[in-house]
Structure 1
Amino acid sequence: MSQPPRLFDPGQIARNLARRKTRDNFVRDLVFDDLADRLGAHMRDFTDAVLIAPDVDLLPDRIATGSGIVTLHRVEAFGSDDFPALPHGEFDLIVSLLHLQAVNDVPGHLARLRARLRPDGLLLVAMIGGDSFSELREAFLAADSAVTGGASARIAPMIQVRDAGALLQRAGLALPVADVETHTVRYANAFALMGELKALGAANPLTDRPRNFATRTLLTQSAAAYQEAAGDSDGRIRVTLEIVWLAGWVPHESQQKPLRPGSAKVSLGDLLKKD
């Protein structure tokens, strides 16, 4: 079997994270708060749970469901390999936050996570996707064209929510659900946004990234293009942030199953004939 292309460099992401001046990160905290809301709606006890995330040591090691407190085994998302170093054994809950958007083999990664879950175990994933940072992508394209006469890959490709449910089914997960949380975030300027991306370790994590540092001229031109396209009257800029959420369960006999075709006792035609 052919291997999927290596779009992302996990080692570079780990190095980006290691050399930051601060580990404060608005996006990570926003996603964890959303996770707390989602798990709080589950009337379920999870006895063996794993949380995979960047800067995972800064996140709580406990979280509440609708029926009690869950203790999380925290695992750092980014290292030298695509797949995180999970503890031994099987789990009934695996949560992956802000990691899957920088994984090279997404179907294979989901299948490996599913293999570590017990029957009726839950996989919850949140990743940056959809139209996230589309304004920055367009600003860099405009600046590259003006400064160098060409274009370089500077913003990673994003998974669309319409494709996400199929990924869960391909991994062998039942009852798949995919949805997106869309946020419009404002920053002082494009340089503040770039700083936030560095805090996420997402400062161009592509394997085929430009090997030379972006010049001051290119960055200044990009900031100006961004301001012109998505700047507000107060001087701040708008940023599209879309968090794609995936949820799927390992199949189990206790789960609801769709009826077999033709098993309905009343036809739609008969219902429509009634006044």
Structure 2
Amino acid sequence: MTQPTPLTDLQALTHNRARADASALFLQEAARDEIEDRVAMVNKSFSSAGIVAAFPEVWQGRSGAAQVVGEAETLPFSQGEHDLLIHSLGLHWANDPVGQLIQCRRALRPDGLLLAVALGGQTLHELRACLAEAEIAETGGLSPRVAPMAEVRDLGALLQRAGLALPVADTVPLRVQYQSMWHLMRDLRAMGENNALSARSRIPPRPRILKRAADIYATTFPGDDDGIIASFELIVLTGWAPDDTQQKPLRPGSAQARLADALRTDETSLPD
């Protein structure tokens, strides 16, 4: 049976990551800072952390004795090795994101914490729309230029599929101003986030398509001082390795008090 083509060309992704400029990794740094803030708010001490990072150097000097590893389809963690696992801004390129979370779940000790950050569906929605409009107008067709990214609801469901308890998914929106679409595209290349889709066209887009897209962008999504706005969305996933000490939802119908009594109000039955 023919295997389906993976979403991400991992060889191209590795090539893109290798060309990245360390001075342009502000999204990786934003994800790291968000994770560090959330770990600091957890009322629990962690003794052994593992970190999966697209750019491990972003975590240098910030992670103590943590085991920091790069992106890989098979993560080099032993079962029950850590009580804290971090997956930092690489999940959106994974061909098997639920598999990545399952591997993290296996590497956690009971009541261990997983924090994962991925780029979400609102990321670069302006760029996607402008490129699509320009290409359809110029050629009558459409090529995948920007990776499709999951919505928060979809990524949250992956936590449950991976067997994690107390799953939570929320978003951190970021709006960045650029001088033009050309500056945005150069920045994406510098941060290693340019096109690595398996289905991408190997032929560079025609100059007139990019010129038209840049004009549409400047008109439709203006920023201050004749610049443009680009949106990025960090989706933060939180889950715990199951443990008997964790809170569990009550059985439906097992409540011992009425909500109306707690609110000190009258309960009115609705008509049939």
Query: 1:209 is paired with a residue of what secondary structure?
Result: coil
Give the distance between the partners of 1:172 and 1:264, measured in 2 at CA. 27
Q: 1:110-138 deviations in whole A, cap 9, x for unaligned?
A: 11211111111111011100211000001
Q: Please say if 1:44 is aligned against 2:38.
A: no
Cα distance in structure 1, aligned partners of 2:150 and 2:47: 31
C-alpha distance in structure 2 between counterparts of 1:243 and 1:38, whole Å? 14
Deviation at 1:273, TM superposition (A): 4.2
Is 1:262 aligned to 2:225, yes or no? Answer: no
Aligned residue for 1:219, secondary structure, equals helix
* Alignment equivalent of 1:158, drawn from 135, 149, 153: 149
Say which of 177, 180, 183 aligns to 1:192: 183
Of residues 236, 241, 250 in structure 1, which corresponds to 2:241? 250
- Helix, strand or coil for the counterpart of 1:264? coil
Partner of 1:241: 232
Pair 1:15 & 2:6 matched: no
Which residue number corresponds to residue 67 of structure 1?
none
Q: Distance in 1 between matches of 2:21 and 2:97?
A: 30
Contact 2:177 2:223 in 1 (8 A): no
Question: 1:218 — aligned with what?
Answer: 209
Residue 2 of structure 1, CA deviation: 9.7
Deviation (angstroms), 1:229: 1.1
* TM-superposed deviation, 1:249: 0.2
Corresponding residue number in structure 1 for 2:66: 72
Distance 1:255-1:165 versus aligned 2 partners, 3 A rule: same
Within 5 Å, which residues of 2 pair with 1:173-212?
A: 173-212=164-203
Equivalent residue, structure 2, for 1:168: 159
Structure 1 distance, partners of 2:69, 2:93, is 16
Unmatched tracts of structure 2, length 5 or more:
268-272
Preserved contact between residue 6 and residue 207 of structure 1 (Cα < 8 Å) = yes
Alignment RMSD (CA, Å):
2.3
Does residue 1:58 correspond to 2:58, yes or no? yes
- Pair 1:120 & 2:108 matched: no
Displacement of 1:38:
1.0
Deviation at 1:265, TM superposition (A): 1.5
Distance 1:38 1:21 in 2: 27
Paired residue for 2:34? 34
Gaps of 5+ in 1: 64-69
Give distance in 2, aligned partners of 1:123 and 1:31.
14
Equivalents in 2 of 1:270, 1:26: separation in Å?
A: 51
CA–CA separation in structure 2 for the residues paired with 1:268 and 1:5: 52
**Which secondary structure state, in structure 2, belongs to the residue aligned with residue 13 of structure 1?**
helix
The residue that corresponds to 2:270 in the other structure is none
What's 1:66 paired with?
Answer: none
Q: Given the superposition, is the C-alpha separation of residues 76 and 192 from structure 1 closer, same or farther in structure 2, using an over 3 Å criterion?
A: same
Deviates more, 1:89-98 or 1:54-63: 54-63
How far the C-alpha of 1:107 sits from its partner, in A, is 1.8
Please give the secondary structure, in 1, of the residue aligned with 2:226: coil
Task: Report the CA distance shift for 1:221/1:83 in structure 2 as closer, same or farther (over 3 A).
Answer: farther
Contact conserved, 2:80 with 2:106, CA < 8 A, in 1?
no
SS of aligned partner of 1:62: coil
- Stretches of 4+ moved more than 6 A in 1? 1-4
Question: Taking structure 2 as the reference length, what is the TM-score of the superposition?
Answer: 0.89
Query: Structure 1 residue 209: deviation in Å?
Result: 0.5
Asked whether the 8 Å contact 2:79–2:106 carries over to 1, the reply is no
